[in-house]
Amino acid sequence: MSLIVCEKLTREYRRGENVIVPLNELDLAVEAGAFLALMGPSGSGKTTLLNLIAGIDRPTSGKLIIDGTNVASLSRSQLARWRSVNVGYIFQLYNLVPTLTAYENVELPLLLHRLSRRERHQRVATALELAGIADRHDHYPRQLSGGQEQRVAIARAIVTDSPIIVADEPTGDLDKASAARVMALLKQLNEQMGKTIVMVTHDPHCAEHARTLLHLEKGQLVEAGAAEKEVAHAQA
Ligand SMILES: Nc1ncnc2c1ncn2[C@@H]1O[C@H](COP(=O)(O)OP(=O)(O)OP(=O)(O)O)[C@@H](O)[C@H]1O
């Protein structure tokens, strides 16, 4: 069975008389271990889909089954708990807490888990090490470059060892070299640690690192990309 299954997944927003439908009866299956890039024009529903998969938002209708759990049926507190175990989120602008050090930012998601201080320390140290940013553990976000901030954010996303990582334009604000480093890191997490990654990107160079490429338009998947991409990888 697929790890993530969307069936007629729909999200509507109502503003007075107006109804916006960023996701419109979307069907999608993502296998465990996939590295999926989502592309599409602005407003096509990419972030909306990511937020639903991450359990930050809830669908208006349709099914969203992740690892056998019908995420839409969970209560708010169950969803928060589910999210803290299952999904790490990487944002375009990092979303680090400015008053906390790199170490403390990475430690934050673990405070929702029952762990001893020692276990927490081990996990934070491992995540910082994996993200290649351990030497900056006591720096505050303002003392870091964008690329370094994003690596701290990646450490925060992996510290709970969740099986799924979602990333919303993770290199959108980075220079070429930092972007390449972040993409190499995501690839490593996918290939060596088996993380399932769903990434939104506008950058074709970024999308090339993924194993499957899907296009969204007006809240629906449009064919093209996926099959070609799979073939290209198979032949590589
Ligand atoms: N909370 C909200 N309330 C009302 N409308 C929303 C909300 N969130 C998103 N939308 C609308 O849904 C549509 C899709 O937004 P979404 O952020 O998913 O697009 P996107 O494909 O990620 O775009 P971009 O590439 O510009 O980030 C947009 O028209 C947006 O204005």
| R_g of the chain, CA atoms, integer Å | 18
pLDDT at position 224 is 55
Whole-number Å distance between alpha carbons of 33 and 197: 7
Mutate to test the pocket of ligand 1, among 42, 57, 91 (most ligand atoms within 8 A of CB): 42
Per-residue pLDDT of 156-182, as tens digits, reads 999 999 999 999 999 999 999 999 999
* pLDDT surpasses 80 at 229: no
Ligand 1 center to residue 12 CA distance, Å? Answer: 10
Is the C-beta atom of 45 inside 6 A of ligand 1?
A: yes
- ipTM, interface predicted TM-score of the complex: 0.94
pLDDT at position 223 is 73
**Residue in this structure with the two tokens 């093209």, named with its chain if needed:** 224
Atom of ligand 1 nearest to the CA of 13: 4
pLDDT at position 187 is 95
**Residue 168: enclosing H or E segment and its boundaries?**
strand 164-168
What residues pair up with 215 in beta bridges, in sequence order? 39, 222
Whole-number Å distance between alpha carbons of 102 and 139: 6
pTM for the whole structure? 0.91
